[in-house]
Amino acid sequence: MKFTHNNKSEEVELNKYSKVLTQDPTQPATQAMFYGIGFKDEDFDKAQVGIVSMDWEGNPCNMHLGHLGTKIKNSVNQTEGLIGLQFHTIGVSDGIANGTEGMRYSLVSREVIADSIETNAGAEYYDGIVAVPGCDKNMPGSIIGMARLNRPSIMVYGGTIAHGEYKGEKLNIVSAFEALGQKITGHISDEDYHGVICHSIPGEGACGGMYTANTLATAIETLGMSLPYSSTNPAAGPEKQAECLSVGAAIKNLLEKDIKPSDIMTKEAFENAIVIIMTLGGSTNAVLHLLAMAKTVGVDLTQDDFQRIADISPVLGDFKPSGKYMQEDFHQIGGLPALLKYLLKEGKLHGDCLTVTGKTLAENVADAKDLDFEAQDVIHPLEKPIKATGHLQILYGNLAEGGSVAKISGKEGERFTGTARVFDGEQKFIEGIETGRLHAGDVAVIRNIGPVGAPGMPEMLKPTSALIGAGLGKSVALITDGRFSGGTHGFVVGHIVPEAVKGGLIGLVEDDDIIEIDAVTNKINLKVSDEEIQKRRAAYVAPEPKAKHGVLYKYAQTVKQANEGCVTDF
């Protein structure tokens, strides 16, 4: 279907992909299939918009996404010249899988989601894509899939959850994880332990702190791939419903202007996203995912870009896991656009980056609410930061020749030297807490859980939460070739490259070795002589692969290391 654009004489072809199926007279069987799903004659001229949700009943983050997808489909169908077609892909609940072997599938799900979107939309010739993600890996998976296709696309975040409450205390998913450490050490009664578990998750929406889901949602809105307020509109609020109903007009505008992900996702837009991640104290996982997203659109982004921006980006958001507030509180003070407006005014962002509204970032937030620093302390002013530089630090050294990612809030200090306590996997670590093997002053080393070694690079939320709950959060550091949840806090270093099974020195660490971590000079080193290291390397025997068939096996054969975003398609 063609439209006159901006009252000019030239016509814009909105159905330039779907016409391959709907307009070709040599495709009668294809067209018969469309009649079979209810198309009318007039529908064959319309642009087709694929609406993909990661809807499934087994996870609070995702259980409502099908309903949002239906509202979006209705919005698309009510927009002249468009027709919406829903499809679905998978999800993995990190909150449910964390601490089990099932967590190995979490990062893998990002690739499955991206592959599914590319496969379905590529085969069916959709002209535009709207993705409706909820949990962590859903979002980068959606962006990677849409970027591969490079057709007009919008991501609609499923929204954040409301807080739970028990005995007057506000709760969230991390409350349940940390209760385990309290139970192990006898600091919580069985009744209260059960009470915390029962009341931490009150309903639909993604985990409520500045954990990975909310981190990625705010980064992607800043990147320009979501409509304004998408990242802070609550899952159960009327604002999220209104957002869904606005999508039809928004995707039509993108089709008319032929604005594609590659037009939006520029180096400057990624720099904006990184600034927001640092400003809000976001998840370490953002490093992994933004690297992968950038690679998909051919943007040269590296770990060192995160460090460069961290050096000049103070932490202003006082969010859980290390702070006080949740995403619902951010919404109440004006949401992400209010912060973007403030940072633009202070010269911290590139305001001329294009977004899915067809306008620039600066234009999108021009009328946003002004942050009132007298009335709220969710976001601090630049002159009174929570931390003077970014909390995510890229560390190098003999333990991380290819780099690593540390999450340093400043509350734990910025340097740690201690004795190694080595664990092959997180279950051994939990046993170490239970048996008293882990002591104040130790550096816990959890290894053989990288992208290849696990395989799947599971999150270490259960171990870090258990540390906090056991009262060791400030006296024990933790390093790993795995990764962390956005809910993690404490003195932690993950994403160590190379991982143990790829020859990383982390695989050669022994109990009582001295490990030195310095987030000021950005170094992480094993204080063992070169001669001893050579001796250990000569004696090293790699563990047997943990997956010998299926999706985990395929992932282990193709995945790159964490410093390349754990991509599988390059």
Residues at the annotated binding site for Mg(2+)?
Answer: 94, 136-137, 459
- DSSP string covering 363-430: HHHTTSPPP-TTT--SB--TTS-SBSS-SEEEEEETTEEEEEEEE--STT-SEEEEEEEEESSHHHHH
Distance CA 438, CA 65 (A): 42
Given the residues 75, 175, 485, 529, select the one marked as catalytic. 485
Distance CA 359, CA 224 (A): 9
- DSSP string covering 3-57: EE-TTSS-EEETTTTTHHHHT-TT-HHHHHHHHHTT--GGGGGSEEEEEEE---T
Quick check: is 485 catalytic? yes
| Tokens 């909390």 belong to residue | 391
53 token code pair:
């949700």
Measured N-to-C along each axis, helices 138-149 and 212-223 cross at an angle, to the nearest 10 degrees, of 30
H or E element, residue 338: helix 335-345
Residue 544: exposure state from Cβ atoms within 10 A (0-12, 13-18, ≥19): exposed
Using DSSP bridges, classify how beta strands 2-4 and 11-13 pair: parallel, antiparallel or unpaired: antiparallel
The set of residues, in sequence order, having a beta carbon less than 8 Å from that of 436 and lying 6+ positions away, is: none
Cβ distance 453 to 496 under 8 Å?
Answer: no
Annotated binding site: 61, 94, 136-137, 459
- DSSP string covering 75-89: HHHTSTTEEEEEEE-
Signed CA dihedral, 235, 241, 246, 252: sign only = positive
Annotated binding site for [2Fe-2S] cluster: 61
Q: Which residues pair with 492 in a beta bridge?
A: 407, 478
Distance CA 372, CA 394 (A): 33
Residue 534: exposure state from Cβ atoms within 10 A (0-12, 13-18, ≥19): exposed
The set of residues, in sequence order, having a beta carbon less than 8 Å from that of 269 and lying 6+ positions away, is: 222, 223, 224, 350, 353, 354
Least Cα distance to 425 among 404, 461, 449 occurs for: 449
Cβ distance 284 to 488 under 8 Å?
Answer: yes
- Catalytic residues, by residue number, are 485
